[in-house]
Chain A
Amino acid sequence: MTSATTRVQRPGALWAAPALIFFGIFGLAPIAIVAGLSFTTWDGLGNPEWAGLHNWRTLPSDKLVGSGLMITLTLTVLTWATQTPLALAFGAWAAGPQRIRAVVSTIFFLPLLLSTAAIALIWQALLDPTFGLPAQWSELTGLSANVLGDPDLALWAIVFVLLWQFLPFHMLLYQAAAKQIPASLYEAAEIDGASPLQRFWRITVPQLRHTIIASSVLMIVGSMTYFETVLLLTGGGPGTATRILPLHMYLKGFSAFEMGYASAIAVLLVAVGTGLSLLVVRVSGYSQMTSEREGV
């Protein structure tokens, strides 16, 4: 008794309206204001003064912007290269049914409960050159104990602390997604004689494609904007060795109180971050509306 016209119900724009309006007020409007501020000089007191392109002209000649960008991109690559494989492997591992995996993954989850300040303080104390772990291993191996104060080692230390801090979150994403992979796929592969490693590469990874992309996008834009750990661990030092661009922006805004200039840097960061994430999305075809589960 259905009518001849079977119109597929699709939600209209109204469904997205509340989110868009809310985000528009508290997320987008401030961005527009910040873009406007980048054409002013303002120290937070009084009113912003029109400065035209002054801040934008200063940007290229500010050596710390160039180096900040380089360090940020380096950190982004290093973070992605360490966090993604581990999160993927551990997430898939944790999705397994064995009891012990559930217990262990509960422990893995614990760093998520800690705030950035706590994590930075803990690692700063653990990496203290006189009383921390470096002092002890320095006696044993003769390696330098000056971890956070060494321009080369400091960045690696940050990569590690960020790994410690954020691996649980990405692991959770992969774990949740891996649990949804239908058993039938694996059963079929087993019957065909595939080894565990082959099953991982041929089934798990492709099935987690969407998650890999979502997680990677989060990681990339996170590196473009997140600086609290770096601020608390090294302050951008030693010297300027770990002064990532978002940190530079923060220091220019809230330490030097050059808010107009900081806004210009902020706009640059938004542009680069958005550009990168759009690139990732486009290249991976994420915006296609297909699912890996079609036809299963």
Chain B
Amino acid sequence: MLGSALAALALGLTTACGTSGPGADSDKAGVEVWMVEDASVNEVVQSAIDTYSKNAGIDGELVTYVNDAYKQRIQVALGSPESPDVFFNWGGGNLAQYVKANQVVDLTEAMEANPEFRDAFLPSVLDVAKIDGSYYGVPMQGVLPVVLFYNKKVFKEVGVEPPTTYSELLDLVDTFKKEGITPIVLPGAQAWTELMWLEYLTDRIGGAEVFQAIAEGKEGAWKDPAIIKALEMCQDLVERGAFGDNFSSLTSDNGSASTVLASGKGAMYLMGTWEISNQQEHNPDFLADGNLGFIAFPALEDGKGDPAAIVGNPSNYFSVNSDSDNVDEAIDFLVETMASDAYVEDLIEIGHVPAVAGIEDKLAETEHSEFTTFTYQLVSEAPSFTQSWDQAIPPAAAETMLTNLQLVFLGDMTPEEFAEAMEATQ
């Protein structure tokens, strides 16, 4: 047994002998694309790469990693010999840190040389890849705003309508509590879900400029009264029992939160539009019966913010690595594919709402056309699309923010303390 083991090992080692890294040994020009693992989108990108490679006569390759693994991987790889030509990122602060380290190619020139390409994208989405006035990335998948989902069946049974104003929301909280239903599902074990509440409330209270100041690193930006008020409102919701007793151990990753909504134990759920694929996966009947309702985040009566403003993930972006040996090919690949009809249609087919102008008709023919059309209108009519704060600010500050936000929701930290702690990271 030992002998055969050694033989297998020897065989394995010889076939697995390493290289000095990827991209080091190809003579043919190539474009290597790195992105996050997402089965359906990966397929779309793969076919785009294949088509482009064939036409341009180069080698194209797609490498994928799971979410957290991807972030670590790219951090270590950029600047090292084993790096991609094109890489996936979240725009905003996430992209900005790479730009600061001079790892990203400026695409402004390419944009100006191809104005139809630039104009094909929704400005609010494209602008998230604009750092210091220059373009560094191109949207590569659908828009993902945060909306308020609700269980239509539960609403009908209790006899209420979805909220269009915040005071209506508060009334609903009381109503559902009396019925023994958790008014709002909040997977509080993962702080980014609590962040969505903070983001929307801040925007409604003080407008998008409040966070804009933070993203720009302005002094005192975190102490804006809008933020304090928003945090107080969050704590108010917790005290009213809006999120139930167990929100701090509820998770979204394993489908728990989605199922709480689908099973009728919870009435409303503030979540990104990707939630529809979660529901498809975990509770297909709920979706098929047409019981998943969706509505924009309610307006705040005396708030300064525009009620049509939205928050969420504008999109994800492809950027070009400045260390790449194939910069021209990489740029060409992006310009040729990212707004092309084929690519856009492929994205629509997998249920995404691409960040591209003029696709209403195509969306009307999709499986969940009501939802996709709603999403598209929401985004194209939004005066501002604020990026998820944890992607927009530097990672160090984001980590602190998420930890402290959880403490606020648990009642272990006051809004003022939160502001102080965040100011210290500016």
Contact = CB atoms under 8 A, between A and B. Distances in A.
Contact flag (A, B; Cβ within 8 A): yes
A134 to B, nearest CB: 8
Interface in B93-122: 97-98, 101-103
A130 B245 contact: no
Interface in B360-375: none
A129 B250 contact: yes
A237 B406 contact: yes
Interface stretch (B71-79, B159-167, B231-239): B71-79
A264 interface: no
B256 interface: yes
B206 interface: no
Contact of B79 (A46, A234, A240, A251): A46
B260 A130 contact: yes
A256 B399 contact: yes
B246 A237 contact: no
B190 A235 contact: yes
A150 B76 CA distance: 36
Nearest to B259: A131
A70 to B, nearest CB: 16
Nearest to B260: A130
B248 A149 contact: yes
Interface string B201-227: 000000000000000000000000000
A266 to B, nearest CB: 16
Contact of A239 (B259, B398, B410): B410
Nearest to A64: B403
A151 interface: yes
Chain B contact surface mostly: helix
A252 B399 CA distance: 8
Contacts of B188: 149, 238
Given A124-B251, A128-B256, A240-B407, A149 B246 contact: yes
Contacts of A124: 251, 254
B189 A237 contact: yes
B381 interface: no
A144 interface: yes
B97 A238 contact: no
Contacts of B79: 45-46
A148 B403 contact: no
Nearest to A43: B97
Given A128-B256, A149-B189, A256 B395 contact: yes
A145 interface: yes
Contacts of B254: 121, 124-125, 128
B75 A257 contact: yes
Contact of B189 (A44, A46, A145, A234): A234
Contact of A145 (B72, B191, B246, B413): B246
B47 interface: no
Contacts, number: 105
B412 A144 contact: no
Contact of B249 (A121, A146, A251, A252): A146
B395 A257 contact: yes
A130 B251 CA distance: 10
B396 A256 contact: yes
Chain A contact surface mostly: loop
B176 interface: no
Given A145-B246, A146-B245, A237-B248, A45 B395 contact: no
A234 B78 CA distance: 30
Interface in B256-292: 256, 259-260, 265
B20 to A, nearest CB: 18
B175 interface: no
B385 interface: no
Interface in A147-165: 147-151, 154
A149 B399 contact: no
| Chain A interface size, under 10 / 10 to 19 / 20 to 34 / 35 or more | 35 or more
A239 B189 contact: no
B51 interface: no
A131 B78 CA distance: 42
A16 B78 CA distance: 39
A254 interface: yes
Contact of B101 (A46, A144, A236, A237): A46
B247 interface: yes
Given A45-B98, A45-B103, A256-B400, A238 B249 contact: yes
Contacts of A290: none
Interface in B309-330: none
Contacts of B265: 130
Interface in A104-152: 121, 124-125, 127-131, 144-151
Contact of A129 (B78, B190, B246): B246
Contacts of B251: 124, 128
A130 B396 contact: no
A137 B164 CA distance: 38
B189 A255 contact: no
B396 A147 contact: no
Nearest to A63: B421
Given A45-B101, A145-B246, A239-B407, A254 B398 contact: no
A50 B75 CA distance: 20
Given A44-B75, A239-B406, A129 B98 contact: no
A121 B398 CA distance: 25
Contacts of A144: 245
B189 A235 contact: yes
Interface of B: 71-72, 75-76, 78-79, 97-98, 101-103, 188-191, 245-251, 254, 256, 259-260, 265, 395-400, 403, 406-407, 410, 412-413
22 contacts: A43-B101, A45-B79, A46-B79, A121-B254, A128-B251, A146-B245, A148-B249, A149-B249, A235-B189, A237-B248, A238-B188, A238-B248, A238-B249, A239-B403, A239-B410, A239-B412, A243-B403, A254-B75, A256-B395, A256-B397, A257-B97, A257-B396
Interface of A: 43-46, 121, 124-125, 127-131, 144-151, 154, 234-240, 243, 251-252, 254-258
